[in-house]
């Protein structure tokens, strides 16, 4: 690694010190009894439109996003832009589905998606499947936030030498994250998300203005990008080629994203269904920013980042993920690099905090309360969630310290395949009780198995070359597995309904709407 960039480091540490104070101070913001799970794990369900906007944005647009998406554009080209339509497709789904989920969860005091499934379908094993899926899909996602943090720590010059000393900054950041999450719950990442998003917007807009000026304008930038990276490759005969990959990645990712426990935690913390609908209208602002951020990958190509000493210093350890830090180091003064790196670093802590809280909520409500202690006090339930949130973060830290990064990435790809298998029970369950609960469970199991097998068959690549009648459609394995899941659930439901009486649904149609809607 390069020498320590002291000016950038001082700015970085100062901003981290500020958000550390803010994380602890958040316990007194909109003060509630943090010995109650809905206060600790959902912020008391009192976040209005603006805070929800920052929270969901901070939840979905993570440090790894800000590192990996432009790195994909830098390395693979136009395929990286699937992230832009994918985030646009998300918002109609948010507008239509999730206010209904919020209303029923608010009415019945549900804290997790598995709580909803338990009440809607009356099957504890189906709820357990939703719980386990959420937890195992979340763990590598938390680890990848720490990867993003590692990259910027390395960019500051603190990653050299290897061994334990090189990991000390990451461990310190983890301790800070664990401490303020334990003490303040969801209020901590909600308050910090405001700072994080302001810093990210400053960084992205500065990069979108300053770097093109330095490089002579967008015309020269696009002229410098190899032709094969500017456009998707035209498909060969009997295949959709990259077009199928692009389309299925966008659609599958959009369907999966709001099923992640941290996404649902952000939604259920809102003060009303109105706040969620307003966010569906406002969140495209992040999509605009993501489009600019993806372009930064092309800026890195045009700037010749691959030939810079800054990039060479970090490439050996971080690969193309070091393209953005190297470009920032090359293009901006050290004080601004400190701001930009802090934005990315804080962008790791916010989603990691929400993810750990979401996983803790799932374990506490849908495993511990369901199978171990059926009648905990409010204090016992909240305390269990606090301890589990620490265990989850510790597990992610151990994972990233001792397991090669490629395995975290592979598991995160599997996470998308796994979490989308909860769509029939959660998203469709919001609209209909037609599905048989055991049919949903069998469909989930087959979808998980098939999706995992597809991913393993292509060495954990995101897409699987599905061939039907001699025509090949390379597409997102998650989407293919979801189709199989749905077909199984649809076919089995009439048969199982004919031979058994479904459990009672404790929700009612009126629970899914509100007079204020």
CB 53 within 8 A of CB 279: yes
Question: CATH number for the domain including 357?
Answer: 1.20.1730.10
Q: Say yes or no to pLDDT of 161 above 70.
A: no
Mutual angle of helices 83-108 and 241-257, in 10-degree steps? 20
Q: Kindly state the average pLDDT of the residues 1-5.
A: 70
pLDDT digits (tens, 9 = 90+) for 195-207: 888 998 899 899 9
CB-based burial of residue 344 (10 Å sphere; 0-12 exposed, 13-18 middle, 19+ buried)?
A: buried
What proportion of the chain, given as a percentage, has pLDDT over 70? 95
Kindly state the average pLDDT of the residues 152-178: 74
Asked if the model's pLDDT at residue 284 lies above 90, the reply is: no
Lowest mean pLDDT of 63-77, 90-104, 243-257, name the range.
63-77
Interatomic CA distance for residues 155 and 158, integer angstroms: 7
Neighbours of 292 (CB within 10 A): 17
- 79-93, 179-193, 227-241, 393-407: segment of lowest average pLDDT: 393-407
pLDDT band at 165 (very low <50, low <70, confident <90, very high): low
36-55 pLDDT, tens per residue? Answer: 999 999 988 889 889 988 88
Mean pLDDT of 275-291: 86
In a domain, 419, yes or no: no
Q: How big is the CA angle at 374 (ends 432 and 265), to the nearest 5 degrees?
A: 50
Count how many domains the chain has: 1
Question: Which pLDDT belongs to residue 337?
Answer: 92
The answer to whether 427 touches 259, Cβ cutoff 8 Å, is: yes
- Distance, in Å, from the CA atom of 229 to the CA atom of 270, rounded to the nearest integer, reads 41
Rounded average pLDDT over 342-362:
90
Q: What is the percent of the chain where pLDDT is above 90?
A: 42
Share in percent of the chain as helix, strand, coil (round to 5): 80, 5, 20
Q: Is 270 helix (H, G, I), strand (E, B) or coil?
A: strand
Question: With 80 as the cut, is the pLDDT of residue 389 above it?
Answer: yes
CA-wise closest residue to 247 among 65, 452, 81: 81
> What number is the average pLDDT over the span 483-488?
97
Range of the domain at 393: 6-405
Exposure of 451 in the CB half-sphere (CA atoms within 13 A): 30
Residue 72 in any domain: the answer is yes
Whether 348 has a pLDDT exceeding 50, the answer reads yes
Closest CA to 61 of 182, 145, 120: 145
Confidence band, pLDDT 50/70/90 cuts, at residue 517: very low
Q: Quick: pLDDT tens for 437-453.
A: 999 999 999 999 999 99
Domain-embedded: residue 395: yes
Give the model confidence (pLDDT) of 395-436 as tens digits.
Answer: 888 877 776 666 666 677 788 899 999 999 999 999 999 999
Whole-number average pLDDT of the chain: 87
For residue 31, what pLDDT band results from cuts at 50, 70 and 90? confident
In a domain, 507, yes or no: no
First to last CA, the chain: 55
């Amino acid at each position: 690694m390069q020498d320590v960039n002291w000016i950038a480091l001082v700015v970085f540490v100062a901003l981290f010190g500020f958000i550390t104070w803010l994380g602890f101070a958040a316990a007194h913001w909109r003060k509630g009894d943090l010995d109650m799970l809905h206060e600790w794990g959902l912020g008391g369900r009192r976040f209005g439109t603006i805070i929800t906007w920052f929270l969901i944005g901070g939840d979905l647009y993570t440090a790894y996003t800000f590192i990996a998406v432009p790195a994909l554009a830098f390395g693979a080209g136009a395929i990286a832009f699937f992230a832009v339509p994918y985030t646009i497709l998300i918002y109609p789904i948010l507008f239509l589905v999730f206010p209904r989920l919020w209303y029923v969860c608010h009415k019945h005091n549900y804290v997790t998606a598995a709580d909803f499934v338990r009440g809607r379908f009356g099957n504890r094993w189906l709820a357990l499947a939703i719980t386990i899926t959420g937890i195992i899909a979340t763990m590598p996602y938390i680890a990848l936030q720490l990867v993003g943090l590692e990259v910027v720590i390395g960019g500051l010059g603190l990653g050299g030498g290897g061994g334990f000393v090189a990991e000390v900054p990451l461990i310190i950041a983890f301790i800070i994250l664990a401490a303020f999450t334990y003490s303040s719950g969801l209020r901590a990442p909600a308050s910090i998300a405001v700072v994080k998003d302001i810093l990210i917007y400053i960084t992205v807009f500065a990069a979108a203005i300053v770097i093109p000026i330095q490089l002579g304008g967008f015309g020269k930038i696009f002229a410098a990008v190899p032709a094969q990276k500017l456009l998707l490759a035209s498909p060969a005969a009997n295949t959709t080629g990259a077009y199928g990959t692009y389309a299925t990645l966008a659609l599958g990712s959009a369907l999966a994203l709001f099923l992640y426990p941290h996404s649902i935690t952000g939604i259920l913390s809102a003060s009303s269904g109105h706040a969620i609908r307003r966010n569906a209208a406002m969140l495209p602002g992040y999509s605009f920013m993501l489009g600019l951020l993806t372009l930064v990958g092309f800026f890195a190509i045009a700037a010749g980042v691959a030939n810079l000493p800054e990039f060479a210093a970090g490439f050996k350890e971080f690969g193309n993920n070091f393209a953005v830090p190297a470009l920032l180091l090359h293009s901006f003064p050290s004080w601004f690099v400190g701001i930009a790196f802090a934005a990315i670093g804080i962008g790791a802590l916010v989603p990691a905090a929400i993810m750990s809280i979401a996983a803790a909520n799932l374990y506490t409500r849908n495993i511990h309360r369901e199978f171990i202690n059926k009648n905990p006090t409010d204090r016992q339930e909240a305390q269990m969630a606090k301890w589990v949130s620490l265990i989850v973060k510790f597990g992610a830290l151990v994972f990233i310290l001792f397991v090669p990064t490629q395995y975290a990435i592979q598991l995160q790809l599997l996470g998308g395949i796994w979490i989308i298998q909860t769509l029939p029970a959660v998203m469709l369950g919001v609209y209909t009780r037609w599905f048989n609960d055991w049919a949903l469970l069998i469909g989930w199991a087959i979808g998980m198995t098939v999706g995992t097998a597809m991913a393993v068959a292509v060495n954990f690549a995101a897409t699987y070359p599905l061939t039907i009648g001699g025509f090949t459609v390379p597409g997102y394995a998650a989407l293919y597995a979801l189709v199989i899941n749905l077909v199984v659930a649809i076919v089995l439901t009439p048969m199982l309904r004919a031979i058994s009486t479904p459990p009672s649904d404790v929700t009612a149609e009126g629970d899914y709407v509100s007079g204020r809607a």
